[in-house]
Structure 1
Amino acid sequence: MPNNCYISFFLFIPLLLSLQPKSYAQSTKQSDGEHQILLGLKKHWGRSSPALSRWNSTSAAHCNWGGVTCTNGAVTGISLANQFFVKPIPPSLCLLKDLTSLDLSYNNFSTSFPITLYNCSKLNYLDLSNNLFVGKLPDDINSLSLQIEHLNLSTNRFWGRIPPSIGLLPRLKSLLLDTNGFDGSYPAEGISNLSNLKVLTLAFNPLIPAPVPEGFGKLTHLIYLWLDNMNIIGEIPENLSNLSDLQLLSLAGNKIQGTIPNWIWQLKKLRYLYLYDNNFTGAIADNITALDLAEIDLSSNKLTGTIPGDFGKLTNLTFLFLYANEVCGSIPLNIGLLPNLKDIRLFNNNLSGSLPPELGKHSLLVNFEIANNNFSGELPEGLCSNRELLDIVVFNNSLSGKLPESLDGCNKF
């Protein structure tokens, strides 16, 4: 008589197989389908791509292919930057139903904006920067996935206005539209309503002249604001002082007037401040609590007054550019004590007095330019104490004495 245990076991096997979850079969089918989609991308874009050339049709492990990211066996990310792609983005790409991240930057796409990406319904990261995309952005660009958080269209050839519907992508945290040919208006109100924005770049676009929108003061999560060379006029609005998380503020190459607001020097997280090539006037505030500042460029304005003594408190400061202004007085002595100062450019001002004797002793000074001022006395003896100095430009002053002996040992001079 057969053992009832064995009978039970063999009866249980078909029962077990019949109870296998359908998701297993579905996931296998999805994996096979995604494998074929990826091979189709390889066929479409060609084998000259460094990454695609290693996609092997005989290998089932497409999740291990270069540029492919999978989560639980499903393709969720495609990163194929710098692959020399020319052919348009094919509709089949969005058949990868779980695709959340797509990076096709640094290629040679030259079509209009690829609206086929509207079908990538789970996309939250899209980088099409540094290509040759042309034309106007579509008015319905909000047809992109509403889950999108990062949209980078910088360094292309888009032109026309920036559509207001871009303000209807509610989860955007990064919006990069710089370095294009946008020559119309931009939807200041719509962008101002993107309350989650942390990164906003509109720089290097020949937009219609306009002030910095006051509504940008509502973007209180911003850490990176790059608005260079976009025809900004008027003064910096007071309500930008609400942007207390800012680490970079760059408004260079515009036609901004008025004084540099005192509140800028109170932004405690600010590290990079670029306001050069504008029409700022007046003195620089001397009550600086933005002590994390590492780079300051206020050059090519119409600034007057003296160099603030509080600059000597900025122990993270690596470069200080104040050239081509009307700044007067002397260089504060404590600037010579800054431990990270590498580059100081103060030429073409009305500065005078002796140079701080400690300059060059406490940091790896690389560049020192003070030409066309009224400095007197000798060059600091330790100017090249750390042997990193590459450039020293001091002509048209009233300096006297011998050259510092440290210059003899400056192996890069």
Structure 2
Amino acid sequence: MRNFISIQSLLLIILCLYVSAEANTSISPMDKTEQNALYSAIQSLVGKWWNGSDLYPDPCGWTPIQGVSCDLFNDLWYVTVINIGPINDNSLECARNLEISPHLFGLKHLKSLSFFNCFNYPITVPSENWEKLAGSLESLEFRSNPKLLGEFPTGLCSLTKLQSLVLMDNGLTGELPANLGNLAELKRLVLAGNRFSGRIPVSLGGLTELLIIDLSRNFISGVLPMSIGGLVSLLKLDLSNNLLNGKLPEELGKMKNLTLLDLRNNSFSGGLPQSIVEMVSLEEMLLGNNSLMGGNLMKVGWGNLKNLIMLDLSNLGLTGKIPESIAEMRRLRFLAMDNNQLTGKLSPKLADMPSVNALYLNGNNLTGELEFSEEFYGKMGRRFAVWSNPNLCYPVGLLAIGHTPLGVKQCNQQASISSSGLKTELGVGNPNQNANFMALHVFSGSAFGGFWWSVLVKVMVIVFFVTLFL
């Protein structure tokens, strides 16, 4: 029995040695020039204390560097990914006196490079040497680096293989370069949260592979170029919170794959283009807080936008009636038309939209009696906003079931006041009715209270929906 155990142990040792030998023979070496360039590039980013050859003698094998990935090319290891910054728990953090070393551009197979929350002191991105990565780099990100200053590094436009360019929440300034159009393979362009100014380059319309454009939260001005219609593959377009003006071009309708159109908080004017109804894939159309004075909703065939989930047309200067065709958007969940100059009666068909759970129509000139069901008021609650429409009223029966719309008067209120006369003025009668009556006047008479309630609730709902569908 003892001999049998000894034989088993011997066989196990031999097997382990064999596997180890096989593993050692299968390990591919790393190109020495590549290895030295990697060590120097990382050290310039994380600090001179970092000694790569001691800490990571086999950076693509047994001792990999955090945030660094490699791949085989001609049986040799080369660096393909570098992520610097506190993205993960074990990521390399940036040095306080960080530098972007020229050795970084010697990594000839580098595909992805990102810097997250790195720069503690003012620094600029170099414009030179990027052409050395033109044959390999596919993704470049500088994200959440408020100390990253200077203008858009024009050398980035030489990265003809680039598919994703993210320069988000930094301190970059100046105009966007005209040669952005050189990035022919670009699929994602995110420049949000900087201080870019000037116009949108016309050349941007030639990037037919683009799926996402986000230029929000900058100081970009001028008109939306007609070349925007060339972005036939685009899925998401976010130009919100800028200084854009002029008329929305009819060419928008050519983007038939677009699911998100966010143009909020600009100065667009001239009404809504008829071509909007051709954007049949749209799920979110957010146009609020512009100057589209005189826009008439009746001229738009809203029934064509059957995929729409969010529609924000607030504070646009819209006039006329609310068309019944809006009720044909069966997937619509959020509808905001508040703070316009809309008139006429509200169609009860609006309550028939099966998915709607937020409806903001406050701050208009709507008239007549609300003709919605008790179930509708119970489902919507305070997400049904119609206050600040002086000539709008609700039927008497709603008071009994406790679903009265905030800030709206009863339709027979004047008659009730006349018949009660002195009793109402002196507070005589049913105390509960008197309290309800006073409460309604507090809300309907206070534009300040109604306005801020509207802002608070609507912002919370918009944030929820945008977070859900982006």
Q: TM-score range by the shorter chain?
A: 0.7 to 0.9
Other-structure match for 1:234: 246
Paired residue secondary structure (2:290): coil
Task: Name the aligned partner's letter for residue 255 of structure 1.
Answer: S
Can you list the C-alpha shifts for 1:33-82, whole angstroms capped at 9, x where unaligned?
Answer: 666665556544448xxxxxxx9637764686553344445432233454
1:375 pairs with one of 365, 385, 392 = 392
- Tell whether 2:123 aligns with 1:105: no
CA-CA distance at 1:197 after TM superposition: 1.8
Other-structure match for 2:209: 196
Task: Name the aligned partner's letter for residue 56 of structure 2.
Answer: S
Task: After TM superposition, list the pairs within 5 Å mapping 1:231-310 onto structure 2.
Answer: 231-280=243-292, 281-284=294-297, 285-310=300-325
Can you list the C-alpha shifts for 1:179-237, whole angstroms capped at 9, x where unaligned?
Answer: 2222334422x212222222223333323x42211111112111111222332222111
Other-structure match for 1:388: none
Can you list the C-alpha shifts for 1:111-137, whole angstroms capped at 9, x where unaligned?
Answer: 212335443341111111321221122
* C-alpha distance in 2 between matches for 1:82 and 1:294: 36
TM-score of the pair, normalised by structure 2? 0.67
Other-structure match for 1:149: 163
- Tell whether 2:327 aligns with 1:316: no
Other-structure match for 1:161: 175
Once structures 1 and 2 are overlaid, which stretch shifts more, 250-259 or 213-222? 250-259
CA-CA distance at 1:331 after TM superposition: 3.2
Are residues 63 and 264 of structure 1, via their aligned partners in 2, closer, same or farther at CA, if it must alter by over 3 Å?
A: farther
Paired residue secondary structure (1:347): coil
- Tell whether 2:89 aligns with 1:75: no
Other-structure match for 2:233: 221
Paired residue secondary structure (2:227): helix
- Tell whether 2:197 aligns with 1:173: no
Can you list the C-alpha shifts for 1:74-115, whole angstroms capped at 9, x where unaligned?
Answer: 432233454563523333333433221122234336421233
* C-alpha distance in 1 between matches for 2:101 and 2:401: 59
- 1:219–1:243: 8 Å Cα contact kept in structure 2? yes
* C-alpha distance in 1 between matches for 2:402 and 2:258: 35
CA-CA distance at 1:157 after TM superposition: 1.8
Other-structure match for 1:123: 137
* C-alpha distance in 2 between matches for 1:383 and 1:196: 56
* C-alpha distance in 2 between matches for 1:105 and 1:117: 19
2:370 pairs with one of 346, 354, 374 = 354
Are residues 78 and 283 of structure 1, via their aligned partners in 2, closer, same or farther at CA, if it must alter by over 3 Å?
A: same
* C-alpha distance in 1 between matches for 2:217 and 2:188: 17
RMSD: 3.6
- 2:191–2:216: 8 Å Cα contact kept in structure 1? yes
Other-structure match for 2:201: 187
Task: Name the aligned partner's letter for residue 141 of structure 1.
Answer: L
* C-alpha distance in 2 between matches for 1:114 and 1:63: 31
Paired residue secondary structure (1:183): strand
* C-alpha distance in 1 between matches for 2:352 and 2:55: 59
* C-alpha distance in 2 between matches for 1:260 and 1:63: 59
Can you list the C-alpha shifts for 1:314-356, whole angstroms capped at 9, x where unaligned?
Answer: 3332211111001123333233243433322211011232152
- 1:94–1:120: 8 Å Cα contact kept in structure 2? yes
Are residues 372 and 96 of structure 1, via their aligned partners in 2, closer, same or farther at CA, if it must alter by over 3 Å?
A: same
- 2:206–2:230: 8 Å Cα contact kept in structure 1? yes
Task: After TM superposition, list the pairs within 5 Å mapping 1:130-145 onto structure 2.
Answer: 130-132=144-146, 133-143=148-158, 145=159
CA-CA distance at 1:254 after TM superposition: 1.9
- 1:360–1:383: 8 Å Cα contact kept in structure 2? no
Are residues 63 and 234 of structure 1, via their aligned partners in 2, closer, same or farther at CA, if it must alter by over 3 Å?
A: farther
* C-alpha distance in 1 between matches for 2:109 and 2:155: 23
Once structures 1 and 2 are overlaid, which stretch shifts more, 109-118 or 198-207? 109-118
* C-alpha distance in 1 between matches for 2:151 and 2:191: 12
* C-alpha distance in 2 between matches for 1:291 and 1:81: 43
Task: Name the aligned partner's letter for residue 182 of structure 2.
Answer: L
- 2:208–2:231: 8 Å Cα contact kept in structure 1? yes
Are residues 164 and 313 of structure 1, via their aligned partners in 2, closer, same or farther at CA, if it must alter by over 3 Å?
A: same
* C-alpha distance in 2 between matches for 1:102 and 1:296: 37
Task: Name the aligned partner's letter for residue 309 of structure 1.
Answer: E
Gaps of 5+ in 2: 1-25, 48-53, 88-92, 414-432, 437-456, 458-470
TM-score of the pair, normalised by structure 1? 0.76
Task: Name the aligned partner's letter for residue 317 of structure 1.
Answer: L
Other-structure match for 2:429: none
Task: Name the aligned partner's letter for residue 110 of structure 2.
Answer: L
Count matched residues.
Answer: 364
- Tell whether 2:350 aligns with 1:327: no
Task: Name the aligned partner's letter for residue 28 of structure 1.
Answer: P
Greater helix share, 1 or 2? 2
Other-structure match for 2:14: none
Gaps of 5+ in 1: 1-23, 48-54, 386-391, 404-412
Are residues 185 and 383 of structure 1, via their aligned partners in 2, closer, same or farther at CA, if it must alter by over 3 Å?
A: farther
- 2:57–2:63: 8 Å Cα contact kept in structure 1? no
- 1:202–1:227: 8 Å Cα contact kept in structure 2? yes
* C-alpha distance in 2 between matches for 1:205 and 1:397: 43
Paired residue secondary structure (2:192): coil
Paired residue secondary structure (1:232): strand
- 2:130–2:156: 8 Å Cα contact kept in structure 1? no
Are residues 355 and 34 of structure 1, via their aligned partners in 2, closer, same or farther at CA, if it must alter by over 3 Å?
A: farther
Other-structure match for 1:19: none
